[in-house]
Structure 1
């Protein structure tokens, strides 16, 4: 796994040739039990690395299209799985917990519910106030330029814009770790503001 901007954060990725971007997963290493976010399949190297760091106690999934390898990793590690409350009736796997806006996934990982994306109640996470972790709605197909899903994939564009605006109002955000594409490691709030402006005034 790749080291990120904090010594307790790692990522691993798989390149998607159709979209020409990396799909990303995040591991937050913590004494109380490691947390995996939208976990992709792990190579043998990454699996061994994760095991050396204590395995996984929790898996959180932002939306049903980011289920990825969560079921298999949960079976191997015994991790408890959490998914979006708004998809509870149709979610592809059983979860131990369902998350919605304002919840705390684990201490230090706050839940923000995104509206208008391609799945109901997509989750984003605010990690210890300064790092935003997104699923599908906010992404980046080139470096230093956040974007949102294309209009045809949005269920409600106005609601999606409002969700991005809400993120842009969080002035303390320094880093934006995206599920799809290029993450932003500095001035995350400014990039979110630029995105909110761009999609509000196309």
Structure 2
């Protein structure tokens, strides 16, 4: 796994040739149990690395389109799975916990609900007030800037605008770790403001 902006954060990726971008997964390494976010299948190297860091206690799936390898990794590690509460009735697997806006899965990991995206109640996660982790809605096919899913994939653009403007009002975000595309590791709040202003 690749080291990120903090010594307790790692990432692994898979290139999607159809969209010409990386799909990304994040691991937050912590003494009380590691958290994986939208985990893709792990190579043997990355699996061994994760095991050396303590495996996984929780897996967060930000939306049903990002289920990826969560069930398989949960079976191998014994991790519990958390998903978006708004998809509870239609989610493809049973989760151990359903997450709603404003909750903390564990101390320091706050849930933000992104309304209007292609799936109901898509989750973004704010890690210790400085690192935002996104699922599908906020993406970055070009390095150094943020954008959104195409309008054709949005359920409700007006609700999306409210959700993105809410993100832009959070001060102190340094990194934005993107599910699809290029993550940014500096000036995250400024880039979110620029995104909101462009809409």
**Which TM-score applies when normalising by structure 2?**
0.99
Partner of 1:188: 188
**Unaligned stretches of 5+ in structure 1?**
none
2:34 is the counterpart of 1:59: no
Partner of 1:115: 115
SS at match of 1:186: coil
SS at match of 2:140: strand
Partner of 1:150: 150
- CA separation in 2, counterparts of 1:114 and 1:56? 25
What is the correspondence of 1:121-132 to structure 2 with a 5 Å cutoff? Answer: 121-132=121-132
Q: CA deviation at 1:51?
A: 0.2
**Unaligned stretches of 5+ in structure 2?**
none
- CA separation in 2, counterparts of 1:173 and 1:5? 12
Q: CA deviation at 1:5?
A: 0.7
Q: CA deviation at 1:172?
A: 1.2
Partner of 1:13: 13
- CA separation in 2, counterparts of 1:116 and 1:196? 15
- The one-character-per-residue Cα deviations of 1:22-62 (angstroms, maximum 9, x if unpaired) are 00000000000000000000000000000000000000010
SS at match of 2:160: helix
- CA separation in 2, counterparts of 1:100 and 1:135? 15
- CA separation in 1, counterparts of 2:12 and 2:94? 24
Partner of 2:73: 73
2:64 is the counterpart of 1:94: no
Structure 1's consecutive aligned runs of 4 or more residues displaced over 4 angstroms after TM superposition are none
Give the alignment's Cα RMSD to 1 decimal. Answer: 0.4
**Which TM-score applies when normalising by structure 1?**
0.98
Q: CA deviation at 1:145?
A: 1.0
- The one-character-per-residue Cα deviations of 1:105-153 (angstroms, maximum 9, x if unpaired) are 1111000000000000000000001000000000000001100000000
Give the paired residue count. 199
Partner of 1:40: 40
